[in-house]
Amino acid sequence: MRNLDTGKANTWCPACGNFGILNAVKMAFNQLFDSGLNPATLAITCGIGCHGKIFDYLNVSGIYGLHGRAVATASGIKLANPELQVLSFGGDGDSLGEGLEHTLFAAKRNLDITLILHNNGNYGLTTGQFSPLSPLGFRGLSSPQGSVEEPFQAIPLLLISGASFVARAYSANPKQLASIIRQGVEHKGFSFIEVLQPCVSYNNTYSYYNQHVKELESRPADIMEAIRIANDAETIWTGVYYQTEKPTYHESAPGLANPAMQRPDQPARLEMLRSLNLI
């Protein structure tokens, strides 16, 4: 069995929500290995942020990429190597700011990857600027008088963009998160998991979340109901909001040569062009 620890010294703040996510990820990986996932086929990608440090704490193959490009590199890996299980870690600034288009297009294409979004509601690594998911009025270094922007609604955004598995979890409930991660990885299609992650340094939401977070009692009937429940003003519901089976990108494109796997030589390429009546 793969030892998932790297032994690297941890530099998250004590009590950071990321510890809960790391624990949940390791639990989920071990569960997946137990049910037959070959560790050799697991690959992760990270962007830049406090979330990104998880790359150094997991003994798993992958790419520690540029800010916002976690989903881009994950998409590339899956397209080139469809037999791999690809898991992407992103932040609210990383995947819904700089990398917004990568995230939405991966959902639109229903690429068979999983995105775990560490939602701490600010740019933590750079000391607390407001992010695409910060609430209106958030006071940070770049918005000392309070942010004047409304946040994106992550779950509705991803539902409308075509994600086929959408869930929300809380870093202080790692057992639930581990189960959701496992379901997301096993799901064939784009899996989006928003994780509420308190940031003890710049956006300490532990107390607020502990009072307002509840587990969904039943799954919403359809996308519109899921959107309504995700936007509940009183309660922040966690659990699986939506799951559906629909064609994944790499399975829908038969007959297209995969340039990483197959490199047809020149005679074969000429023959392909002839068969399409292009020459």
Partner 1 sequence: MQNVTFPTDSHPDATALLPDSKEGYKRYTITDNGISPLLFPPSDEVIKWNSHEHLESGLRTDQADTMVAMQDKRDRKPIEAACAKYERFAIYGKGKRRIFAYGSTALEIREAMKHLIDDYQLVVPIYLEPLPIEELLPYCDEPAIVVEHNSKPRFAQFLKEKLGLQSRADILRYDGRAWDPIELAKRIMEVDHA
Residues lying near partner 1 in the complex (CB under 8 A) are found at 6, 8, 38-41, 43, 53, 55-56, 59-66, 81, 83-84, 260-263
Closest approach of partner 1 to the CB of residue 35, in Å = 18
Closest approach of partner 1 to the CB of residue 38, in Å = 7
Closest approach of partner 1 to the CB of residue 88, in Å = 14
Closest approach of partner 1 to the CB of residue 204, in Å = 26
Q: Which is nearer to partner 1, 56 or 149 (CB)?
A: 56
Q: Which is nearer to partner 1, 51 or 168 (CB)?
A: 51
Q: Which is nearer to partner 1, 18 or 164 (CB)?
A: 18
Q: Which is nearer to partner 1, 224 or 268 (CB)?
A: 268
**Cβ neighbours of residue 172 under 8 Å, at least 6 residues apart?**
17, 20, 198, 206, 209, 210
**Does residue 127 contact residue 50 with C-beta atoms inside 8 Å?**
no
Q: Which is nearer to partner 1, 146 or 264 (CB)?
A: 264
Distance CA 196, CA 206 (A): 10
Angle, CA of 222, 79 and 102, to the nearest 5°: 60
Q: Which is nearer to partner 1, 40 or 276 (CB)?
A: 40
Q: Which is nearer to partner 1, 27 or 43 (CB)?
A: 43
3-class state of residue 242 by DSSP: strand
Closest approach of partner 1 to the CB of residue 57, in Å = 9
Closest approach of partner 1 to the CB of residue 95, in Å = 16
- Give the phi and the psi of residue 192 in degrees, each rounded to 5: -115, 125
Closest approach of partner 1 to the CB of residue 130, in Å = 25
Distance CA 168, CA 191 (A): 11
Record the tokens describing residue 232, joined without a space.
């509940």
Helix-, strand-, coil-residue percentages of the chain, each rounded to 5: 40, 20, 45
Nearest to 130 by CA among 115, 151, 116: 151
Q: Which is nearer to partner 1, 45 or 164 (CB)?
A: 45
Closest approach of partner 1 to the CB of residue 40, in Å = 4
3-class state of residue 268 by DSSP: helix
Distance CA 44, CA 86 (A): 6
Q: What is the DSSP string of 163-206?
A: -SEEEEEETT-HHHHHHHHHHHHHSSS-EEEEEE--BTTTB--H
Distance CA 119, CA 265 (A): 47
